[in-house]
Every structure is written in C-alpha cells, then in structure tokens.
Amino acid sequence: MPELEGVVDIPVMLDLEARNWHWVPCGGHIEIGNVTLLQGDQIGSGINVAKKLVQSVHGTAAMGHVHRPSMHTVTSLTTAKDKWSGYTLPCLCTLAPAYAKGRPNAFCTGFGVIEQGATSTNVSSIIVSNGTFS
C-alpha cells in the first residue's frame, strides 16, 4: 500500500536485523551462492516463465510468487560446464483465488528450499499436499 510507505517499516517493526534476517523489498533480489533469488512479479508469468527467468537474469535464478513449480536449463554452446537454470517456486497460498473466477489453474501450494554446499547450490520445490510434505 503506497499510502503507508514510510509509516510502516516492517524490518524495524519485526527487528529483522537483530534476528539475522535479510529484508529484500519487492523489486529487489538477493544472491545465495550462485543463485539469484527474486520476486516473480519482476519477470511476469506464462507457460515458459522459468525460461524467461534464466534468459533475463543470465545465470541461475529462482523466483517465488509464480504459484506453480517449473524449471528450465540453458547450456553453453562452447562448453558443457556452463549451465544456468531458472526455477519458479509455488506459493503458500490458496489454490482458488477469487480473481481466477473458478477457472482451472496449475497452482500448487508449496515453497522452495535452497541448499548451499561448499561447491554447489541446489534449488528444490517442495509441494504441500493435504497439508503435509516430506
């Protein structure tokens, strides 16, 4: 809500810095290992949104706010070592939002997990079904 900008300061209200949380405003991004994380409304939507993501970022990236998981990988013409992947992550949200007016959709309830190792970073989509996941 633009009218509350400057009045409500969520990072301060929730004391995020003291809790070692990083606050990234909508429209921003953060890097974890070699993965760029961002909010999905920066790229848009569509059936090939993971492809659009990896082509826009020019690297491995993951984004939320997409409501459904997807992945697209791009490889280098000149070396098999260079690979970039784009991941879209499901949301912790309703599967039947009012704006969809009852139309069928591919929405999934879920979230993403990013695991950073010594030499690699992995992105996984976790799907919640009937209130549980494994």
Would 132 be classed as within a structural domain?
no
Nearest to 37 by CA among 17, 18, 22, 20: 22
Would 55 be classed as within a structural domain?
yes
Residue 112 pLDDT more than 70? Answer: yes
Overall average pLDDT of the 75-100 stretch: 86
Q: Where is average pLDDT lowest: 24-28, 47-51, 84-88?
A: 24-28
Nearest to 117 by CA among 20, 22, 33: 33
Better pLDDT: 19 or 119: 19
User: In which residue are the tokens 């690297």 written?
Assistant: 59
Would 40 be classed as within a structural domain?
yes
Overall average pLDDT of the 90-107 stretch: 85
Would 101 be classed as within a structural domain?
yes
Would 17 be classed as within a structural domain?
no
User: Looking at the 3D structure of the chain, how many domains does it have?
Assistant: 1
Would 1 be classed as within a structural domain?
no
Would 5 be classed as within a structural domain?
no
Work out the pLDDT band at 52, boundaries 50, 70, 90. very high
What is the average pLDDT score of the chain?
Answer: 87
Would 15 be classed as within a structural domain?
no
Question: Within the chain, where are the H helices?
Answer: 10-13, 49-57
Work out the pLDDT band at 65, boundaries 50, 70, 90. confident
Q: Residue 67 is part of which domain span? A: 30-127
Q: Where is average pLDDT lowest: 38-42, 84-88, 98-102, 106-110?
A: 38-42
Residue 74 pLDDT more than 70? Answer: yes
Work out the pLDDT band at 1, boundaries 50, 70, 90. low
